[in-house]
Amino acid sequence: MVESAITLPLVVFLLLGTLQLFLMLQARVLAQYAVFQATRAGSVGYGECERMTHAAILALLPSFHSFVGLSGGAAEVRHGGGAGAPARLAAAFAARRGNRYRGGPLGAGPALDGVHTGSIVWIDRALVGGGIDGPQDRDFDEPGHLRRLEVRLTYWYPMRIPFANWVLSRMVMAQFGIQDYTGANPLQVAERNANWRQGEFTDPFTLVGAIREELRQRAARQQYVFPIETHFTMRMMTPAKARHFATMECPR
C-alpha cells in the first residue's frame, strides 16, 4: 500500500500525460494543415481575414470537438443517413465561426468546449514584395512581380485530459519563465513541494510577449491551453486589396 501510494501519482501522470501528448501531436499535424488552408484562402481571396480564419477553424475542429458524436457517424451511414455528419460539421463550425470557443464556467450550464473561452486561432500576416499602391495590387500577375503572403498561425489548443492538463500547463509556464510553481509536487509524494522555476528547464524558444500574457491569463482562469505555432508562405493568386490589410493581424 505504501509503495502504491508513492508510485500511483507518477503512474497516473504517465498514462494521462502520454494520452495528452499524443492528442497534442495530432493537433500539431492539423495546425500545419490549418495554416496551409488559411494561407491558400488568403491567396485566392484577396487576403481577406475572415475567409482565412474560417478555413483554419474548419481544419482544426476535429482536434477539439467531435462533431460526429457518439451516436452518429458509421451507424448513420449504414442506415442511409450519411448526410448527418456534414450537417453536424456545419453546426459545429457555425457555433465557432466568430473564432471563439463555446465554453463557460463549471456549473454554468452545458458548454460545447468545457471551460474554454477566448480565441481559437491568432493569425498574423506579412506581404513580401512591397506594399499595395491604391485599392488593390493590379500588377500581381505581371512577369517578375512576385508578392507572397506569409502567415503565422497560433492555435490555442485546449488540453482536456484531467490532471495531465494542469501538470503540463504548470511545467510549460515554468519552462518559458511565465510563472513559477513551488506548490505541492503532483509527481512525488516524498517531495512535498515542487521547484519549477524559470531556468529549471532548458528553454530553446522564446514566446512573443502577447502569447506569453495570453497563456498566463488563460491558466489563471483554469483554461489549460498550449500555443501551437505554424507558418506557411504562398504566392498571391489574386490581387491583394488594401482594405484587407489595414492591419497585418487578423481580428482576435
What Cα–Cα distance (Å) separates residue 134 from each residue in 62, 241, 249?
A: 40, 9, 20
pTM for the model:
0.84
Phi and psi for 84 in degrees, rounded to 5? -65, -45
For residue 177, the model assigns a pLDDT of 76
**Whole-number Å distance between alpha carbons of 16 and 78:** 34
According to DSSP, residue 193 is labeled B
**Whole-number Å distance between alpha carbons of 28 and 21:** 10
Instruction: Count Cβ atoms below 10 Å from residue 33 Cβ, excluding itself.
Output: 14
Instruction: Please give the distance of CA 119 from its chain centroid, rounded to a whole number.
Output: 9
Q: What is the DSSP string of 24-42?
A: HHHHHHHHHHHHHHHHHHH
Q: What is the DSSP string of 106-162?
A: TTSS--TTTT--SBSEEEEEEEET----SSB-TTTTSTT---EEEEEEEEEEEP-ST
**Are 52 and 113 spatial neighbours (Cβ–Cβ below 8 Å)?**
no
Cell for 116? 474554454
Three-state SS annotation for 65-118: CCCCCCCCCHHHHHCCCCCHHHHHHHHHHHCCCCCECCCCCCCCCCCCCCCCCC
For residue 117, the model assigns a pLDDT of 93
* Bridge partner residues of 49 (DSSP): none
For residue 87, the model assigns a pLDDT of 86
* Bridge partner residues of 157 (DSSP): 226
Question: pLDDT digit of tens for each residue in the chain (252 aa)?
Answer: 888 777 777 788 889 989 999 999 999 999 999 999 999 999 999 999 999 999 999 999 999 998 776 444 443 344 344 557 788 889 899 999 999 999 877 655 567 898 999 999 999 999 988 778 789 888 877 777 788 999 999 999 999 999 889 888 888 888 777 777 766 666 665 556 776 665 544 443 445 788 889 999 999 999 999 999 999 999 999 999 999 999 999 999
For residue 88, the model assigns a pLDDT of 86
Residues contacting 121, CB < 8 A, separation 6+: 34, 38, 53, 56, 57, 60, 99, 153, 154, 155, 156
